[in-house]
Amino acid sequence: MSDKPTNKATKTKLWGFGGLSGRLLLLTIIFILLGEFLIFVPSLANFRNNWLNEKLAKAQIASLVLDASPDNMVDEALEIELLSHVGAEIVALKRGDTRQLILQRPTNNKMIEASFDLRDESVMQQIMAVFDALLAPENRLIKIRGATIFDAGDFVEIVIDENMMRAAMWTYGKNIMGLSIILSIIVATMIYWALNWLLVRPIKRITQSIVDFGQDPDQSKNMIVPSKRTDEVGTAEKQLLQMQHELQNTLKEKNRLAALGLAVSKISHDLRNMLSSTQMISDRLQNSDDPTVARLAPKMEAALDRAINFCVRTLKYGQAKEEEPQKTFFALHPLLEDVADTLSLDVLKTAADESIAWDLNVDEDDIIYADRHQLFRIILNISRNAADILKNHQSVSQITPRIFICYLAKQDMQYLVVADNGPGVMDRAKQSLFNAFQGSMRPGGTGLGLAISQELAQAHGGNIKLIEDLQGDEPYASLIEPKAMKGAIFLIELPNKIEDKN
């Protein structure tokens, strides 16, 4: 019951306005408005400049009326009409060295508070003039100077009440701002839906799949279903699905191993009791008059001791944890004979009713440096796999089935080769040969033998590998008979030096 509120809260957080969609929409509107503002101010400055130039042009046209009148004189009514048409208080024109007052409103007696020359204003000055006009006090008179048209003089000047220009600028600004807001909303909505469809919704879908899969990875319905997109989003969906499959398989394997560990612990508890009873029987077998029984009884007792100790460790740690190798120098040949006795190769028959030959290319005085008990298990696991395969393999060429073992110590490495003349390792088993429960070389196998052997070899600082292409320059190449050994060839590499424990 506690899982449902958590899932609901997670989905609300992913899909609410505070999520990626809401933030994207808000940022889109802000950025578009910011861009409109950056355009708005220069646009307003350009409107002011055009508005003033229009007034200057009207003032110069009004001056032409005076030029056409006798003695450059007009009556007061016409002068006021001309000034009203221009929208100015004073109009003046400079020609050469003469600065002529063309028109002047008779009742105007205010002081001019600011002066602007449009002929040499920079863009920054025009922008600053906009803020100056909008923030200036009411009814301020300003003088504007600009170039004449048709080369009618050096410049023309007008004095105007800034309220008219400010009112025109506010009207223009409101229109532009309203249009900008409408445009921003339209563009922001289009961009939002485009980005939401292309990016946000797929990201939310991927995120929700991760959340759902994290809460219940055993359910396949919580895995993402990749779309048909071929871009980065499609690649992310496919990679996520692959990762979810791998993680699900890993979790299943972990659960399987956990259940297996519990079962092994239970089995080990009962098996230890049974082995203890068997050990008592093996003690009595040592007193037998049969020489074969007397010879094999100590080996049987040693094997039982190893099995009992392994069961005890399994119960103690809750898992089959290997001990650190206790390396010593010992004779290799007796160890290999113990392996042969354990496998009983002399009585093990193949399908063709032939005994499997145990062929050792090891001198009786060869000394190896390793943990004797762990090396015994390494060679036993590899040899048992070979014996089981040879037992059920009917050789077409009628060659006697054999297991071949050789040893070479060279410089800082020791090489042990365990080979057979069977059918070899199947291609499907090579990919996971040393993986637990996956690398079985025979039907019915668990796939644990080689995995355990590899773990023990690596604990020694060495390695086990399958030799598929024998290179003549390898130090162990001279030990192997390529023509005779066409089956599985395993190379065990162990360091040949005493580690510094300090």
CATH code: domain of residue 349 = 3.30.565.10
pLDDT at 14: 45
Q: What confidence score (pLDDT) does residue 8 get?
A: 44
Residue 215 placed within a domain: no
60, 378, 449 from 101: Cα distances, Å: 12, 117, 114
Q: pLDDT band at 462, cuts 50/70/90?
A: very high
Looking at the DSSP bridge assignments, the partners of residue 492 are 416, 464
pLDDT at position 284: 60
Q: Note whether 282 and 360 are same-domain residues.
A: no
Q: Tell me the sheet residues that pair with 144.
A: 116, 158
Answer left, alpha or beta for residue 72, where phi above 0 means left and psi between -120 and 50 means alpha.
Answer: left
Alpha helices (H) in 154-286, listed in sequence order: 162-195, 201-215, 232-285
* pLDDT value for 378: 92
Tell whether 355 is covered by a domain.
yes
Instruction: Give yes or no: residues 395 and 350 share one domain.
Output: yes
The answer to whether residues 351 and 301 belong to one domain is: no
Residue 92 · residue 104 · CB < 8 Å = no
Cα(first)–Cα(last) distance of the chain, in Å?
Answer: 55
- Is residue 395, in this structure, part of any structural domain at all? yes
Indicate the range of 8-17, 208-217, 249-258, 403-412 predicted with least confidence. 8-17
Tell me the whole-structure pTM to 2 decimals: 0.46
Helix axes 232-285 and 291-317, enclosed angle (nearest 10): 140
Contacts of residue 296, Cβ cutoff 8 Å, sequence gap at least 6: 341
**Residues 398 and 294 grouped into a single domain:** no
**What pLDDT is attached to residue 12?**
42
Q: Does residue 115 lie within any of the structural domains? A: yes
Structure tokens at 302: 């040693």
Question: Measured between alpha carbons, how far is 302 from 280 in angstroms, rounded to an integer?
Answer: 12
Is the same domain home to 75 and 121?
Answer: yes
The residue-averaged pLDDT of 274-285 equals: 59
Helix (H) or strand (E) holding 408: strand 402-410
Q: What are phi and psi of 41, to 5 degrees?
A: -65, -50
276 and 410 together in one domain: no
| Full residue range of the structural domain in which residue 136 is found | 20-186
pLDDT 10s digits, 177-222: 888 778 777 877 887 788 778 777 888 888 888 888 888 887 778 8
3 state SS of 469: coil
In angstroms, the CA 205 to CA 228 distance is: 14
Residues 48 and 178 in one domain: yes
Residue 32 has which token pair? 């578009």
- Report helix angle 123-135 to 20-68, nearest 10: 90
Cβ neighbors of 280 (< 8 A, separation 6 or more) are: none
Res. 141: pLDDT tops 80: yes
**Do 73 and 105 fall into the same domain?**
yes
| Cβ-contact 82, 103 below 8 angstroms | yes
Comparing 372 with 17, the larger pLDDT belongs to 372
343 and 451 assigned to the same domain: yes
Q: Domain tally for the chain?
A: 3
**Do 290 and 335 belong to one domain?**
no
400: in domain: yes
Distances 7 to 16, 214, 220, 245 between C-alpha atoms, Å: 14, 11, 17, 22
> Looking at residue 147, what is its pLDDT?
84
Residue that finishes a domain, picked among 266, 293, 321 = 321
CB-count burial class (<10 Å; 0-12, 13-18, 19+) for 442: middle
The answer as to whether 212 is a domain residue is no
d(CA 239, CA 166): 62
State how far the Cα of 52 lies from the Cα of 49, in Å rounded to an integer.
Answer: 5
Would you call 407 helix, strand, or coil by DSSP? strand
Say if residue 284 is in the same domain as residue 137.
no
Residue 236 CA to residue 203 CA, distance in Å, equals 9
| Each residue's pLDDT tens digit, 304-353 | 676 666 666 555 544 455 678 899 999 999 999 888 877 776 555 555 55
List all residues 6 or more positions away from 214 whose beta carbon is below 8 Å from its beta carbon. Answer: none
Q: Mean pLDDT over all residues of the chain?
A: 76
Together in a domain, 152 and 71? yes
- Are 28 and 192 contacting, i.e. CB atoms less than 8 angstroms apart? yes
The secondary element (H helix, E strand) that includes residue 464 is: strand 463-466
| 468: Cβ contacts below 8 Å, ≥ 6 apart | 430, 489
What pLDDT score was predicted for residue 441? 57
Q: Is residue 10 situated within a structural domain?
A: no
Instruction: Decide: helix, strand or coil at residue 38.
Output: helix
Q: Is residue 472 part of a domain?
A: yes
